Amino acid sequence: MVKVRGIEFEGNLDNSMGLEFYNLSHRFGFQNPNWPYFEDTKIERIHYMAKSGVLSQRITTTMHATTHIDAPAHVVQGTPFIDEVPLPHFFGSGIVVSMPKKKWEPITYDDLEEACGKSIRKGDVLIINTGWHKQYEDGDYFAYCPGFVKSAGEWMVEKGVKVVGHDTQANDHPLATAIGPQRNGPLLPHLEQEYLEWSGGIPWDEAFPEWEPVHNILFKNGIMGIENVGGDLDAVTGKRCTFAFFPWNWDRGDGCIVRLVAMIDKSQNFRIEAGDAY
């Protein structure tokens, strides 16, 4: 048991179900880190104890803040919104893979094959730990993350991955988004010269000629991505777990903030109810 503000609860790792629960989400709230063009998250107390004897709050936010899942309709017109994706897509077993990466390094087909090609199963949830969840702050995280390139998306389709989660800013390399030269970018023009020097003379629009190619590959094949994974990610890296990450039932939603949770049943004594009448 754990005591929180004087109230006792069953703990994440010590509870009557015999399960271990691990939070893989970053915090959401006041001054949570945001993408370069997002408005800040706003939280207002509409009712509070001295005024009303209850606490009620109003939240103004994009759903693409902190740890969240994208709906296919977020990028690909004519594809499902978040409420149209069947519920089994937000629950399942899978693996958490260590894949250390530095500034702007690509995550490729070969990287994925080497890290988990023999371990991945069709229908798995794949969570990737690059180490960048430790850099999740209001600053360089968004501009300098490593990221998936096109071949990584092709690998996920080939392997039949159900959902991919990662501790980076988007389902694509940051310079294949509006942070770089794509679509309504560049949001951060100073990165053009910096990338030219970093790459040894390759222009960023030559290195990243397509707009969000991995988003497009994944979403057109029914694979969704969980961005900005964090929390206790290191504690479950290298393990096979069960995951849950249900979004709101938001009509025509383009994505949703989620509480990504990894669960481990070491005793194998817990069972989901059969649905028998009580």
Beta strand spans in 85-184 (E): 91-98, 106-107, 125-129, 147-148, 163-166
Domain extent for 209 = 11-264
Q: Kindly report, residue by residue over 262-273, the tens digit of the pLDDT.
A: 999 999 999 999
Q: Kindly report, residue by residue over 55-102, the tens digit of the pLDDT.
A: 999 999 999 999 999 999 999 999 999 999 999 999 999 999 999 999
Q: Is 274 inside any structural domain? A: no
Q: Kindly report, residue by residue over 143-169, the tens digit of the pLDDT.
A: 999 999 999 999 999 999 999 999 999
| Pairwise CA distance, residues 138 & 115, whole Å | 30
Q: Which phi and psi (to 5°) does residue 72 adopt?
A: -55, -35
Is residue 9 predicted with pLDDT exceeding 90?
yes
Q: Is 5 inside any structural domain? A: no
**Distance between start and end Cα atoms, the chain:** 29
The CATH number of the domain where 17 resides is what?
3.50.30.50
Question: What percent of the chain lies above the pLDDT cut of 90?
Answer: 99
Tokens (6 digits) for 9:
């609860």
Q: Kindly report, residue by residue over 187-201, the tens digit of the pLDDT.
A: 999 999 999 999 999
| Pairwise CA distance, residues 89 & 70, whole Å | 12
Q: Is 62 inside any structural domain? A: yes
If one counts the domains in the chain, the total is 1
Q: Is 132 inside any structural domain? A: yes
The region, left, alpha or beta by phi > 0 then psi within -120 to 50, assigned to residue 6 is left
Q: Is 223 inside any structural domain? A: yes
Q: Is 256 inside any structural domain? A: yes
Contact 28, 66 (CB under 8 A): yes
Is residue 21 predicted with pLDDT exceeding 90?
yes
Q: Is 4 inside any structural domain? A: no
Kindly list the distances between the CA atom of residue 167 and the CA atoms of 53, 68, 119, 241, in Å, as whole numbers in the listed order: 40, 11, 20, 17
Q: Is 15 inside any structural domain? A: yes
